[in-house]
Amino acid sequence: MHSNSKQLWRDVQVFDGQALLDEAMTVRVDDGRVAGMWPSRAFAEADAQGAVEAGQGGVMTPGLVDCHTHLVYAGDRAGEFEQRLEGVSYAEIAKAGGGILSTVRATREASEEALLAASLPRLDALLADGVTTVEIKSGYGLTLSDELKMLRVARRLGELRPVRVTTTLLGAHALPPEYAGRADDYVSLVCDEMIPAAAGEGLADAVDVFCEGIGFSPAQCERIYQAAQAHGLAIKAHAEQLSNLGGSALAARYGALSADHIEYLDEAGVRAMAEAGTVAVLLPGAFHVLRETQLPPIDLLRQYQVPMAVASDANPGTSPICMPSLMANLACTLFRLTPREALAGMTAHAARALGLPELGRIAVGAAADLCLWDIQHPAELAYAVQSGRLRQRIFNGVITHAR
Ligand code: DI6
Ligand code: FE
């Protein structure tokens, strides 16, 4: 099918990225964009002129936006999963050189081709669940060349598959063993070499940090933000995941697109995010896998009207889950989001967390990244955990997945 085709979907229930429209709609897509949207009962057949009938009935949502993943990596951590079942904590495993560092060893050893081959099935799983935009982080290389290798693989994934990929340099994910006791020197490597190279080669859209006791201090993260700003890259943070260091407020002060995890976020942090327009990215997969008990401050985020996104955090340690629709379910069951909030979190708010507010919504003029689901009501996406409901995945106006 051609991207310049003109297509018509009739009688669909539209969730537009924020809410369910209150009557069945007819949607026309011309040349990769939504060209018209009418209540079906008022649709004038003249407006169907020249368009192919592409579908009838079902629920139409924006294509899903997975705004936080670490899906490029080599190796696996099933052994650590078993250790954790025996009572060893995530932080203990990390301190003993496992955790993120075990994936770093495997990723450094992998060639670019091997890394690509290992990552492709994970991307395909996301696509099969309706994803049309995905953010992919580095952070398992931790040398200049291995971080760039990961970012190149992420970019190549976006060329191999019909999906928009945004890339994030996460050089400050963990301290590599060769820098033990010299964290500030490693931060200098991130600031003086990784960020300039990733920006110069167009390999990164944003810079992220792991602001945590087992990661990097707020002062170190601040240096990284200054370097990112100097090179025109957007800013994100893994913050307040395991403790409250004020990383989200720091990120907000630097105009961050998002602060992610945020289980330990306090009211001052929520206020700082609201003032800066920083999106709260909720990662219920990591919360679930780590069996965390500290809930993110959902009521405060609502009260301060901080937009909440929901993402998979797909990674080999804390969220080995490549199923965004399960994240909608977990966001509701674990964090008590409403299904409407969870879906907005995986579409409009997730797009905003990537600095792409024109995506993640269905509106006349918007890019036609769409999903057509075989369900009666959008809430079913969060309510039931079930594959096989995606009838069509439409990327840039082209149907790329159809049963
Ligand atoms: N927080 C997380 O949950 C992931 N990274 C991070 O900073 C975990 C990554 C891993 O365990 O491999
Ligand atoms: Fe993460």
Nearest to 382 by CA among 321, 312, 332, 308: 332
Give the tens place of pLDDT for each residue, 341-397: 999 999 999 999 999 999 999 999 999 999 999 999 999 999 999 999 999 999 999
- Tell the residue nearest (CA) to atom 3 of ligand 1: 318
320 has pLDDT over 90: yes
Domain ranges of the chain: 6-62+361-402, 64-353
What would the 3-class secondary structure string for 147-204 be?
Answer: HHHHHHHHHHHHHHCCCEEEEEEEEECCCCHHHCCCHHHHHHHHHHHHHHHHHHCCCC
- Model confidence band, residue 1 (pLDDT cutoffs 50, 70, 90): very low
Q: What is the pLDDT of residue 390?
A: 97
- Residue 98 Cβ inside 6 Å of ligand 1? The answer reads no
pLDDT confidence of 4, banded at 50, 70, 90? low
Q: Give the pLDDT mean for 319-325.
A: 96
Cα gap 326→322, rounded to integer Å: 9
Predicted model pTM: 0.97
- The H or E element containing residue 11 is strand 6-14
Which CATH entry fits the domain spanning 64-353: 3.40.50.2300, 3.90.550.10, 3.20.20.140, 3.10.110.10?
Answer: 3.20.20.140
pLDDT tens digits, one per residue of 239-260: 999 999 999 999 999 999 999 9
Which distant-in-sequence residues (6+ apart) come within 8 Å of 221 by Cβ?
A: 172, 209, 211, 237, 247, 250, 251
Q: Return the pLDDT at 305.
A: 98
At residue 91, the pLDDT reads: 85
The CB of 315 under 6 Å from ligand 1? The reply is yes
pLDDT tens-digit readout, 194-226: 999 999 999 999 999 999 998 999 999 999 999
Task: Using the atom order of ligand 1, give the atom closest to the CA of residue 316.
Answer: 12
Distance 238 CA to ligand 2 centre (A): 6
- Inform me whether the pLDDT recorded for 403 exceeds 80: no
Ligand 1 near 285 CB (within 6 A):
no
The domain made up of 6-62+361-402 is a member of CATH 2.30.40.10: yes
* Dist. CA 122 → ligand 1 center (Å): 17
